[in-house]
C-alpha cells in the first residue's frame, strides 16, 4: 500500500458515506457491506450501514448493524439511540426500551432520545411515562415544535384514558414553563380547564397543520370526515353554472376543491399553513392560493366573492362575531356563506367552549345569533355527523347563510 493511501475498507466506507449524504442509501448499502467484509472492526461503518439499511426499510438488519457498531467500540449514546429508534420502528418494544435506557445513561442531555422514548411509551398506552419523557425533552429543547406537539397529544390521550387530574396538572406546568408557545397556551388551557382565548392563536393553528399536513388526507379518511361532502349537498340547489367567484376559506390540502371547481370561474384558497397550501397547490384546481389569516384576508377583499365555504374552520374560533362580519363584507349582495361547526349541546349553557383536543364547539342558538348580528340571513342549519373521533361520532351544524341583496 502506498504511504498515506487509505486502506481499501476505509476507502469503500467513505465512498458509501458520500452516497448516503447525497440521499442514495441504495447505492451506499452494498459499499458499506463490502467495506465491512474487508474489515469488520470498523465501528462507525457498522453504524452508518445501519442508517442506510434503516432508510431502505430493512429494520432487523439495521438493528444488527447498530449492535455490531456497539460491540466494536462505538459504545456511545447516539449508537444506542439509533438502535432504540429502529427497534421501536420494528415494534420490538422491550429491546427498544433497553436501548433508550442505555442511550440516556450515556447521554442524559439528548432531547431526541427522551422524545423517542416518550413515543415508545405512548405506543404502549403508558401515557404518564410518555408525558414525563416529552417534558424532559422540552426542558432540553424548549422551542422544539415536534416535542410540543407530542406532549399535547399525549396529555389529550392521558385525559381521555381517565387521568384527568394528572393531565390537568401537567398542562398547567406546560403553560407555566413555556408561556410563549402557542400549543402550550391553547391546548394547555383546554386540558387544564383554564380560561381559553376567544380563538385559537394563529401560531398554534399554523404549527399544528404544518406538522399534520403530510398525513392530513389519510387521517381524515380514517375518521370518515364528511364536511366537504355535506357542504356540497347543502349547495346542491344553489347556482352552479361556473360563473361564481368562490373562496375556499381555510382550504387546507384542498379537500373541497373538486366540489367547488365546477361552480367557479375563479377559485381562491386561503390558509395559515404553508404545509397545507403546498398540497392544495399540487391538486391544480385553484386559480389563487394565499397564506394568510382568514379574518384579515376577508376584510381585505370587500365584495369579492359570491360564495365563501369554510369546512371545519370556525371550530378554531370561539367568538364568531368578527369572522362572520368579515365574511359578510367579502360577499357580494346575495352571496352565500356555507360552513360547518361542531355542535355544543344545548344543556351545556355556554355559547361556545374549547374541548381538550383544541377545537371549539358552538351552541346552535349562538350561531344563529352571531349570523344575525353580522347581517347574514340564515337559510339552513342541519344537524349532521362530521366525523368520528376516538370511535365516537362528532356531531355538528352544517350551515348556509346569505348576505341579503338589499
The pLDDT profile of the chain, 406 residues, written as one tens digit per residue, is 454 578 999 999 999 999 999 999 999 999 999 999 999 999 999 999 999 999 999 999 999 999 999 999 998 999 999 999 999 999 999 999 999 999 999 999 999 999 999 999 999 999 999 999 999 999 999 999 999 999 999 999 999 899 999 999 999 999 999 999 989 999 999 999 887 788 998 988 998 899 889 999 999 999 999 999 999 999 998 877 889 999 999 999 999 999 999 999 999 999 999 999 999 999 999 999 999 999 999 999 999 999 999 999 999 999 999 999 999 999 999 999 999 999 999 888 899 998 888 899 999 999 999 999 999 999 999 999 999 988 889 999 999 999 998 6
Tally the C-alpha atoms within 13 A of residue 187's C-alpha that lie toward its C-beta: 25
Q: What is the pTM of this model?
A: 0.79
Pair type for strands 264-271 and 377-389: unpaired
Residue corresponding to grid cell 453504524:
47
The CA–CA distances, whole Å, from 259 to 163, 296, 305, 330 equal 42, 25, 17, 21
Structure-block grid coordinates of residue 277: 397550501
Three-class SS state of 216? helix
CA dihedral defined by 184, 252, 391, 152, rounded to 10 degrees?
Answer: -10
CA dihedral defined by 202, 252, 341, 402, rounded to 10 degrees?
Answer: 100
Taking the C-alpha atoms of residue 276 and residue 208, their distance in angstroms, rounded to an integer, is 10
Return the number of other C-beta atoms located less than 10 Å from residue 64's C-beta.
17
Q: What is the pLDDT of residue 208?
A: 87
Pair type for strands 360-362 and 352-354: antiparallel
Beta bridge partner(s), residue 392: 389
In 3D space, the residue among 201, 203, 139, 129 whose CA is nearest the CA of residue 176 turns out to be 139
Contact 274, 303 (CB under 8 A): no
In 3D space, the residue among 125, 116, 78 whose CA is nearest the CA of residue 96 turns out to be 116
Structure-block grid coordinates of residue 243: 360563473
Tally the C-alpha atoms within 13 A of residue 27's C-alpha that lie toward its C-beta: 11
Structure-block grid coordinates of residue 293: 389569516
Helices (H) and strands (E) in the chain, counts: 19, 9
Q: What is the pLDDT of residue 88?
A: 96
Q: Provide DSSP, 283-308.
A: T---SEEEES-HHHHHHTSTT-EEEE
363: Cβ contacts below 8 Å, ≥ 6 apart: 343, 344, 345, 346, 348, 350, 351, 352
Residue corresponding to grid cell 364536511:
227
Beta bridge partner(s), residue 199: 317
Taking the C-alpha atoms of residue 130 and residue 145, their distance in angstroms, rounded to an integer, is 16
Three-class SS state of 347? helix
Amino acid at each position: 500500500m502506498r504511504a498515506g493511501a487509505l486502506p481499501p475498507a476505509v476507502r469503500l466506507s467513505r465512498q458509501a458515506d458520500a452516497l448516503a449524504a447525497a440521499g442514495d442509501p441504495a447505492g451506499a448499502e452494498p459499499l458499506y457491506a463490502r467495506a465491512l467484509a474487508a474489515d469488520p472492526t470498523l465501528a462507525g461503518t457498522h453504524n452508518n450501514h445501519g442508517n442506510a439499511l434503516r432508510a431502505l426499510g430493512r429494520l432487523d438488519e439495521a438493528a444488527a448493524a447498530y449492535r455490531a457498531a456497539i460491540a466494536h467500540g462505538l459504545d456511545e449514546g447516539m449508537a444506542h439511540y439509533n438502535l432504540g429508534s429502529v427497534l421501536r420502528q420494528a415494534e420490538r418494544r422491550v429491546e427498544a426500551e433497553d436501548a433508550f435506557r442505555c442511550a440516556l445513561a450515556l447521554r442524559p442531555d439528548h432531547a431526541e432520545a427522551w422524545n423517542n422514548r416518550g413515543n415508545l411509551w405512548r405506543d404502549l398506552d403508558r401515557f404518564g411515562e410518555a408525558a414525563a419523557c416529552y417534558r424532559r425533552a422540552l426542558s432540553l429543547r424548549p422551542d422544539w415544535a415536534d416535542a410540543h406537539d407530542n406532549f399535547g397529544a399525549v396529555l389529550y390521550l392521558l385525559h381521555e384514558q381517565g387521568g384527568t387530574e394528572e393531565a390537568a396538572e401537567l398542562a398547567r406546568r406546560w403553560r407555566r414553563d413555556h408561556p410563549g408557545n402557542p400549543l402550550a397556551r391553547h391546548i394547555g388551557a383546554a386540558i387544564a380547564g383554564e380560561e381559553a382565548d376567544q380563538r385559537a392563536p394563529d401560531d398554534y393553528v399554523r404549527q399544528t397543520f404544518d406538522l399534520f399536513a403530510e398525513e392530513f388526507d389519510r387521517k381524515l379518511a380514517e375518521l370518515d370526515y364528511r364536511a366537504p361532502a355535506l357542504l356540497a349537498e347543502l349547495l346542491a340547489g344553489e347556482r352552479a353554472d361556473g360563473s361564481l367567484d368562490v373562496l375556499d376559506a381555510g382550504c387546507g390540502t384542498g379537500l373541497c376543491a373538486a366540489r367547488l371547481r365546477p361552480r367557479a370561474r375563479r377559485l381562491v384558497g386561503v390558509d395559515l399553513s404553508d404545509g397545507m397550501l403546498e398540497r392544495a397547490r399540487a391538486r391544480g384546481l385553484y386559480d389563487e392560493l394565499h397564506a394568510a389569516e382568514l379574518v384579515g384576508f376577508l376584510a381585505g377583499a370587500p365584495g369579492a366573492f359570491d360564495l365563501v365555504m369554510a369546512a371545519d374552520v370556525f371550530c378554531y374560533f370561539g367568538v364568531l362575531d368578527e369572522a362572520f362580519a368579515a365574511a359578510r363584507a367579502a360577499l357580494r349582495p346575495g352571496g352565500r356563506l356555507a360552513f360547518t361547526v361542531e355542535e355544543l349541546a344545548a344543556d351545556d349553557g355556554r355559547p361556545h367552549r374549547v374541548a381538550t383536543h383544541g377545537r371549539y364547539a358552538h351552541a346552535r342558538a349562538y350561531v344563529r345569533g352571531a349570523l344575525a348580528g353580522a347581517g347574514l340571513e340564515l337559510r339552513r342549519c342541519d344537524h349532521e355527523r362530521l366525523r368520528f373521533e376516538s370511535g365516537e361520532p362528532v356531531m355538528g351544524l352544517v350551515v348556509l347563510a346569505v348576505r341579503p341583496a338589499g
